[in-house]
Amino acid sequence: MKIAVLGTGAGARAHIAKLAALGHDVHVGTRDPQATLARTGPDMMGTPPFKEFLAEHPGICLHTFGDAAAQGELVINGIDGHNAVAALTAIADQLAGKTLIDYAVPFIYQHQTEHPWPTPWGVMPKLDPCDTDSLGEQIQRALPRTKVVKSFVTQEQTTVVNPQAIGGGDHTMFVAGEDADAKQQATDLLKSYGWTDILDLGPLACARGMEMYAHMHSAIGFGLGQHFGGHFGIKVVR
Amino acid sequence: MKIAVLGTGAGARAHIAKLAALGHDVHVGTRDPQATLARTGPDMMGTPPFKEFLAEHPGICLHTFGDAAAQGELVINGIDGHNAVAALTAIADQLAGKTLIDYAVPFIYQHQTEHPWPTPWGVMPKLDPCDTDSLGEQIQRALPRTKVVKSFVTQEQTTVVNPQAIGGGDHTMFVAGEDADAKQQATDLLKSYGWTDILDLGPLACARGMEMYAHMHSAIGFGLGQHFGGHFGIKVVR
């Protein structure tokens, strides 16, 4: 299947590598392909240059966001939360009629504000939107012709694509969205990743809880002594 | 042990009944004992009159918040989140030097605002504080002589006191706070309730994630078709 992944960060790379290994035709989108390929050092999150990743994964095509979205029959959004709505709105035509799986957390980082707020983790990003709205809903409102599914967001992206690495895979992944067929596409993709317990939370408003879980996820990682390592999952026991 | 439970709602009653069954000397606090005993119909949450509960649980003493707190060697806060800081600040002297386990969610309900925000659940309460602060931290700042532990809040109170009712008890409870001895007291109480997997998340700032998990908890309940029934738990798989 032709799948577009928008973004070149660590999370996007986990999906790109897994999708390629599963035999999909993967099209990667970035804001400025030339700039992405020109980078020689790690980015501010410590991620190595994307061209090193491409060298290890031949056959991956790098495009602009719009060209990648145009290629994909299914699109995964890995654009950072702070920029996602604007970047996706600019390519609304290329995303029309398609399923967009969004895993972005609407974090605002300290370098993006003059008013940091300390936590035990140093300076914890702040969520915006939060509580009475979600990034998933904002994206859906910005893209009324696209079927938005919120998923992946409650799990580190490296273990989203390899759930068996934790507890033999016996933990829970969530989907939310307005379109049943789009949620089924996301569910099928998750099954191909190895997930066995996939819970449909219902409408996209459930993205609020999924995104706000980010703080609990960080706290659990902190309690386990992993400081954002994220090598755990949560199982809904019922 | 002499344990004070502040509040007479459904959650408080679950703790009161369990603590009495475990042989503790339980002292219940309410704003106005005469008014609490005078009520003859269900409250706005549908909870039956407290005097019916007392008739079924002889030996429980009903006091003002301050008198109950003065009696307790350990205190559990079940005052609703909207009123908790003010009510607890008024009895700071009676709480000085004690461990206070707080399980309140800082929800603002629709009848407390002129601007409701619809969700699939009808009108979902809004959290205040949220994201960069928590009710647990607010209470700790208001009561510097008290050792505040946030716990219980990620689980319906009826199953907090009976974890074995779900998956044989194989799910996770969390504690957070600044004082190790106080967290040990909370952990010992949880073990006496039947919990076997109790994760110390660390400092009280982790109450942010615990309180914000309320929306995810509601979403999971919605996904399971239980609409706030809450008969599930979450297990941290690691």
Q: Is residue A230 part of a domain?
A: no
- Residue A49 tokens read as 């240059």
Return the CATH number at B166.
3.40.50.720
Q: Is residue A93 part of a domain?
A: yes
- pLDDT score, position B214: 94
Distance (Å) from the alpha carbon of B192 to chain A's nearest alpha carbon: 21
Q: What is the pTM of this model?
A: 0.95
Q: Which residue of B has its CA nearest to A171?
A: B237
Query: What's the burial of B175, exposed, middle or buried (CB within 10 Å: 0-12/13-18/19+)?
Result: buried
Q: Is residue B67 part of a domain?
A: yes
- Residue B153 tokens read as 């809040």
> B44 or B168, which is more confident?
B168
Q: Is residue A234 part of a domain?
A: no
What are the chain B neighbours of A151 within 8 Å (beta carbons)?
none
Residue A164 contacts B, CB cutoff 8 Å: no
Range of the domain at A207: 2-223
CB contact under 8 A, A219 and B233: no
Q: Is residue A233 part of a domain?
A: no
Q: Is residue A169 part of a domain?
A: yes
Count: domains in chain A = 1
Q: Is residue A112 part of a domain?
A: yes
Q: Is residue B235 part of a domain?
A: no
- pLDDT score, position A44: 77
Q: Are A204 and A138 in contact (CB under 8 A)?
A: no
Q: Which residue of B has its CA nearest to A117?
A: B132
Question: pLDDT for A78-133, tens place per residue?
Answer: 999 999 999 999 999 999 999 999 999 998 876 776 666 667 667 778 899 999 99
Centroid of chain to Cα B64: 18
Query: What's the burial of B58, exposed, middle or buried (CB within 10 Å: 0-12/13-18/19+)?
Result: exposed
Question: pLDDT for B15-37, tens place per residue?
Answer: 999 999 999 999 999 999 999 99
Question: pLDDT for A132-149, tens place per residue?
Answer: 999 999 999 999 999 999
- pLDDT score, position A43: 83
